Amino acid sequence: MSHRVLIHVGTPKTGTSHLQDVLFRNRQRLREQGVLYPADRHDAHFLAALDLMQLPWGGLENEAVGAWDTLATQVREFEGISIISHEILATASRGQAQRALASLGHPDTEVHVVLSIRDLVRQIPAEWQETIKHRREVPYARFLAQLRDPARDSALGAWFWGVQEVPDILDRWADDLPPERVHVVTVPRPGGQREVLWHRFSQTFGLDDLDLDVEAERANPSLGVPETTMVRRVNIKANKIVPPAAYRPLVRELLAHQTLSRRVDSPRLTLPPDAYAWVAPLQQKWTDVVRQRGYHVVGDLDDVVGAPPPEPYADPDSPDEAQVADAAVDAITALLVENARLFRIEQDLRGELEGAHRDLERAHLRPTYRWREKTVRRLQHSRAGRFALRVYRAGRGRSSRSA
Amino acid sequence: MTDAAAAWGWMAHLRDGGTTPWAGWSGAAEPQGVVLPGAQQLELLRRVNLVGRPTSGLVEAVLAADPPRRTRPALPLAGGVDVPDHGPRPVDPTDLADNELTRLAAVLLAQQLATRPVVEPHVGRRRPWRIRYHLLGDPEHTAPLRRHLIARGRPPGGYGGRVLVLGTDTGRMLVDLWTTHSFRNGALPWRDWLAVCVRRGRLPTSLDLHELARREIDRPVPNRVHVVTDPALASRLLGVRRGPGPPQPMAASAVDLGRRVGAALRPLALPDRRRRLLTDVVRPLLADEPGLPLVIPRRHRDWVHDEAARLHRQLERGRYPVHGDPALVRPVDRAGVEAPDVSVTLALAIRLLLETEHQHREEGP
């Protein structure tokens, strides 16, 4: 049985990709030092979370069936400290959270819940951008309106509050845990050093004294305003004709992550100035709840007070068209380079295919081919014939059964 | 009496088979748990009680069910237990849309059916003299014919043989393809799915009879292709005197429920088993449901007529025999509905929940 289990349940856009990448790449070293990060692939905990929450995810759920039970079994059987981390766990229902904790050994095992949080001033634009990178077409203003709708009956609103509403997530995950076993990690203010967040995670998960390679290979880079607008426009035009399987490598990976995220000089996405009056008291209320409940805070709750609105505000629904055009040129160039690469591959494959066709046609054109085909077919219809064919093939020295 | 006591009292009332709406409820009870189930679960249980007497197992399953995670979570009752400032806002259960309750009912049905055994289809002893064949085209016609032939010792495939491309009127083929998708992975809703087809500007490849035939002919080793626009003729072309009979289009709400259950089964069963569950367990439960089938919505009829006319012309000029009149691919007017009525889908889901639970209890674990 695990001595201690730390389950990190969110929230998205709080440095979780970096943390999970470090844990995954160091899983062997961690194990040697008594810490289990049970994963045989980098998205193992994502699949387990999909399974726990019975959440379809563009076909990935096919690989997720039974993944949570497998993960929980590994944790229960490990003698030491176990770490589980995925940000979409934040949206688990109360029943799912209870099932998860029970499967990890709660209440007999010492289970800790970790929640990393960041100010809504950064989280809201980041979630919209993530939404756009997942094929959505919704303008920023409509996204914000859906978040502000108290009914929360839009898919976007339901998802956003599910993964971002800090007190509600803690209600669902940590209702029957003592406050000292609930750790709230704050993301440093904008401009803070990246290492500060890692140190906070490291302190929370008890990794400070361990020998680890903490250089991240995987990250979820952000886009600027014109770049996000451009991707949204691409979605509007291409969504109905580009299948999801092609969208992910071409738009999300090639365009957004590998190309447009490098344009760091364009204006950053922020909250519109009129939304600050809505967000500030909400954020304050959440912070008060965390303080009142006496959870273990790693960092400073003042970190999650959002920065004041920037001047001037860059509206992604009315962007600077010259900047969008610039981003589009970069995107077209990247697609051309990728097309050239694929074109070369296509030429090679076409050559191979034509060669195979020629060989096939030559085989059919030989005068004996029809006769041999008829003989084999006739022989296959009787037991004696099949036996004779087997003897012939064995004698010939290689099988032609698949021919 | 406190509001919380009233809410717990309403839940106890529903557990006992009560049907009083929350707005008209006045009783009270002690808390029966830590957290009151959501308004969706309680209202769905009330609707189930209105139709029949659920088993205690079904009652507990409804109360414990989770709405799909991309929709609203369990919502507090308006005027019930005190809720904090954060979290979803309370609602009156009678204000919940049928769509929201149907989603929850589909999740429950999927959970009920996910563990059902799947019966292996009958496979007849192979006939050595059988005609080798491949079937393409309208999946609602090819699938039953293929099953019929397999049961009679004539599995598809084999070297050479003939390729039959089956079709019927284009409107029906589109409905058929959506039906098949719905019972495979849980497709998009009908209108959205059709809108995607229209926006792509061409019939889906698996319904483009001419394109399917052309591809087979253009193979390096061409297959002998027959296009069949009158599916009743197909079985004779494959050496079988009688076919499975013309498939009847399913009621719109039955397919809609199949689609929702298919989507809810995605995280519960691996693809192969899910496909078998949908075709061999879910579909037979819904196949004979009365109700009008789907037809092409008025706004897309012109597009379907144009596509059918193009297909008709291509079939007349094709380099393959066409069995049946090529004009049969032209859409015909038939009785139907342009979209499923979600209230009918919900009623069907509730009836099936009750029936499958009682059936499960009779069969035993």
Strand boundaries in B154-264, DSSP class E: 162-166, 224-228
- Closest-approach residue (CA) in chain B for A91: B69
Q: Which residues of A touch B72 (CB under 8 A)?
A: 152-153, 158
A230 vs A228: CA distance, rounded Å? 5
Give the residue from chain B lying closest to A151, CA to CA: B89
Contact list, A135 vs chain B (CB under 8 Å): none
Question: What is the pTM (predicted TM-score) of this model?
Answer: 0.86
Of the residues B41, B266, B270, B273, the best mutation for testing chain A's interface (the one with the most A CB atoms within 10 Å of its CB) is B266
Q: From chain A, pick out residues whose CB is under 8 angstroms from the CB of B66.
A: 53-54, 93, 95-96
Residues A79, A2: Cα–Cα separation, whole Å: 5
Q: Nearest residue of A to residue B197 by CA position?
A: A240
Sign (positive or negative) of CA dihedral A151, A156, A159, A164: negative
Q: Is A167 on the interface with B (CB under 8 A)?
A: yes
Torsion from C-alpha of A266, A270, A272, A273, nearest 10 degrees: -100
B24's CB contacts (< 8 A; 6+ apart) are: none
Peptide bond into B73 cis (omega under 30): no
Q: What is the pLDDT of residue A8?
A: 97
A146 shares contact with chain B (CB less than 8 Å) = no
pLDDT in tens, A350-372: 999 999 988 887 777 777 777 88
Cβ contact B267–A64 (<8 Å): yes
Cβ-proximal residues to B243 (8 Å cutoff; 6+ apart), any chain = B145, B148, B231, B232, B234, B235, B236
CB-CB neighbors (< 8 A) of A64 in chain B = 267
Is the Cβ of A159 closer than 8 Å to some Cβ of chain B? yes
For position A39, what pLDDT does the model report?
A: 96
Spans of all domains in chain B: 3-96, 133-249+293-334
B293 and B141 Cβ atoms separated by less than 8 Å: no
**Helix, strand, coil shares, percent, chain B, to 5:** 50, 5, 40
Q: Would you place residue B362 in the very low, low, confident or very high pLDDT band (cuts 50, 70, 90)? A: low
Q: B268: which chain A residues are within 8 Å (Cβ-Cβ)? A: 54, 65
Predicted confidence band of residue A400 (pLDDT cuts 50, 70, 90): very low
Do the Cβ atoms of B200 and A94 come within 8 Å? no
Better pLDDT: B330 or B81: B330
Q: Considering only residues 208 to 247 of chain A, which have any Cβ-Cβ distance to chain B shorter than 8 Å?
A: 240-241
Q: A96 CB near a chain B CB, below 8 Å?
A: yes
Distance from CA of A62 to the nearest CA of B (A): 6
Interchain pair A167, B35: CB under 8 A:
no
- The residue-averaged pLDDT of B142-146 equals 95
Topology, domain A4-122+135-222+273-305: Rossmann fold (3.40.50)
Selecting from B69, B263, B268 the residue whose C-beta is nearest the C-beta of A91 gives: B69
Cα–Cα dist A101/B328, whole Å: 60
The CA distances from residue B348 to A172, B102, B182, in Å, are: 33, 9, 16
Question: So what's the pLDDT on residue A401?
Answer: 47
How many beta-carbon pairs under 8 angstroms link A with B? 84
The reply to whether residue A285 touches residue B85, judged by beta carbons under 8 angstroms, is: yes
Q: For the residues B212-233, what does the mean pLDDT come to?
A: 87
Which residues in chain A are classed under CATH 3.40.50? 4-122+135-222+273-305
Beta bridge partners of A296: A183
Helical packing angle, B298-317 and B190-200, nearest 10°:
50
User: Of B206-210, B317-321, B331-335, B355-359, which has the strongest mean pLDDT?
Assistant: B206-210
